[in-house]
Structure 1
Amino acid sequence: MAVTYDFAGKTAIVTGGSRGIGRAVAAHLARSGADVWIWDADPVPADGIRNQTVDVTKAGDIKAALTEIVAGTGRIDILVNNAGYLGPYHGFETFDPAEWQRIIGVNLLGTFEVTHQVLPVMRQAGRGRIVNMGSLAGKEGLPNLAAYSAASAGVIAFTKALSREVCDTGIRVNCVAPGPIDTDLIRRLGNKVVSDMIGASPLKRLGAVDEVAALVLWLCSDASSFNTGAVFDMSGGRARY
């Protein structure tokens, strides 16, 4: 049985929303009535969704895009911090420092910067939903993904800390930590790596982007009013704690 939500009248921002998990989240929010804006460095048009070219590591991009949205709607109800960069699948000793700086910049500092600018709009309204996309890597630390693991761990800790700072409001801050999901991001790691990931999964498959989107929508809904500072696994049973 399909679960449906009514987000009519709500304004949502999904970073990194042109592809993969972000695109699924944006599409589900739009079908549920939300006014959805995708922030992406390389936006792809989608029916019923508005796109803005935003590099989440650039404060000026964020400010300009946010100003346009607030001028038109006066509100931000939902923020899904999904923009991410996995980087190469290499041992840490062979990693180019420029690569891990980019990984930290997009995944962690990008989440900081976007939230830092959007949160005051939510606080003024006294309500909102922030969902940060972390990763199973941030909970367990995955070999050959050291920088990505560190960035994801930072997103998880940030979620917990920020949730406590805004618990005097109607703003709820949560995190989703997916394991391997069937996206181009994962497929680019190569058939051998993907096969090993599937083999390590108790469910013996990759997750689907629509499965992740369903969890994100629940966290954005009024049904999740008592959840804040939580990290929700989406790992097919792979997570060990």
Structure 2
Amino acid sequence: MNQIDLNGQVAVITGGASGFGLACAKRFIASGAKVSLWDRDAEALKVAVGLLGDAAASQTVDITDCDGLAAAHAAVEKEVGPVSILLNSAGIAGKNAPLDEYGLDEWRRVIEINLNGTFYVNRVVIPSMKARNYGRIVNISSVAGKEGNPNAAAYAASKSGVLGLVKALGKEVAKYDIAVNAITPAVANTAILKEVTKEFIEYMLSRIPRGRFLEVDELANMVAWLVSKENSFTTASVFDLSGGRTTY
């Protein structure tokens, strides 16, 4: 494993109780950071913090709860230290259905969590990063945000929106030495697959030239560099983790 220096850094990781978020938490801690896992699943958070040890803390919070996010951020800054890293990993797949059959409430739920939630989380951490003239932010999008997937229009639209947000925000805060980037992973064997059909999983897997799922540790390896001080120039950009599906 390449050594990434995150000594002295404090990272907030949304969706941190499992999947991508938990894998990144392990890598950040191995690199010297302290982490605060944010998730709405209190029981899963307890298990995750138990696995990670003393370098991990947690906040039970829903990323669509703006007041809750502000309180969680204030608590981390007081109890753990100044937040210098944000990884926004929380998200849902939503249901699979043709657009003309897609429920309005389900559409709104996916957009509220995946896109609006990303906006809310970034909005709450940006002021303190600007005040300190430093920060590293990675927002997890998806290969679907580049290419779209049939029968998953809400998910694709929400993840495409994340890319637009990253490109705008990265330009806004570049002068503060805050890097804001996105990653676009292909399908990985995480809990989010429980939300979609077997046929949809097979479709997504068939589109990956590597011929396999993304491993969560592979994602963590890329993110660890993106949130380090070594990433001192690149911002407002999108990093591919699609196994060759998208080459742009």
Question: By the TM > 0.5 criterion, same fold?
Answer: yes
Question: Structure 1 residue aligned with 2:181, among 157, 171, 174?
Answer: 174
Counterparts of 1:21-170 in structure 2, within 5 Å, are 21-43=20-42, 44=44, 45=46, 46=48, 47-48=52-53, 49-170=56-177
Worse-superposed segment, 182-191 or 36-45: 182-191
1:222 aligned counterpart, secondary structure: coil
Q: Aligned partner of 1:169: which letter?
A: Y
Q: Contact conserved, 2:138 with 2:183, CA < 8 A, in 1? A: yes
Q: For the residues of structure 1 that align with 2:92 and 2:198, how far apart are their CA atoms?
A: 19
Counterparts of 1:225-236 in structure 2, within 5 Å, are 225-236=232-243
Q: Unmatched 5+ residue regions in structure 1?
A: none
Match of 1:11 in 2: 10
Match of 1:198 in 2: 205
Worse-superposed segment, 64-73 or 230-239: 64-73
Q: Contact conserved, 1:40 with 1:54, CA < 8 A, in 2? A: yes
Q: For the residues of structure 2 that align with 1:220 and 1:199, how far apart are their CA atoms?
A: 31
> Are residues 53 and 133 of structure 1, via their aligned partners in 2, closer, same or farther at CA, if it must alter by over 3 Å?
same
Q: For the residues of structure 1 that align with 2:217 and 2:143, how far apart are their CA atoms?
A: 18
Q: Contact conserved, 2:208 with 2:245, CA < 8 A, in 1? A: yes
Residue 24 of structure 1 deviates from its aligned partner by 0.6
1:150 aligned counterpart, secondary structure: helix
Q: Contact conserved, 2:94 with 2:196, CA < 8 A, in 1? A: no
The superposition leaves residues 187-234 of structure 1 with CA deviations (integer Å, 9 ceiling, x where unpaired) of 542333222222221111111111111111110012211110110110
Question: Structure 2 residue aligned with 1:209, among 216, 219, 232?
Answer: 216
Q: For the residues of structure 2 that align with 1:142 and 1:240, how far apart are their CA atoms?
A: 16
> Are residues 73 and 23 of structure 1, via their aligned partners in 2, closer, same or farther at CA, if it must alter by over 3 Å?
closer
2:224 aligned counterpart, secondary structure: helix
Q: For the residues of structure 2 that align with 1:124 and 1:74, how far apart are their CA atoms?
A: 14
Q: Aligned partner of 2:38: which letter?
A: W
Residue 76 of structure 1 deviates from its aligned partner by 0.8
Q: Aligned partner of 2:27: which letter?
A: H
* TM-score normalised by L of structure 2: 0.93
Q: Contact conserved, 2:96 with 2:197, CA < 8 A, in 1? A: no
Residue 184 of structure 1 deviates from its aligned partner by 2.0
> Are residues 149 and 166 of structure 1, via their aligned partners in 2, closer, same or farther at CA, if it must alter by over 3 Å?
same
Residue 6 of structure 1 deviates from its aligned partner by 2.3
- Runs of 4 or more, structure 1, over 4 Å off, are none
Q: Unmatched 5+ residue regions in structure 2?
A: none
Q: Aligned partner of 2:116: which letter?
A: L
* TM-score normalised by L of structure 1: 0.95
Count of matched residue positions in the alignment of Structure 1 and Structure 2: 240
Residue 67 of structure 1 deviates from its aligned partner by 1.1
Q: For the residues of structure 1 that align with 2:207 and 2:184, how far apart are their CA atoms?
A: 17
Q: For the residues of structure 1 that align with 2:233 and 2:247, how far apart are their CA atoms?
A: 25
Q: Aligned partner of 1:155: which letter?
A: V
Percent identity of equivalent pairs = 40
Alpha carbon RMSD of aligned pairs, Å? 1.3
Q: Contact conserved, 1:187 with 1:194, CA < 8 A, in 2? A: no
Q: Aligned partner of 1:6: which letter?
A: D
Match of 2:191 in 1: 184
1:23 aligned counterpart, secondary structure: helix
Q: Contact conserved, 2:179 with 2:235, CA < 8 A, in 1? A: yes
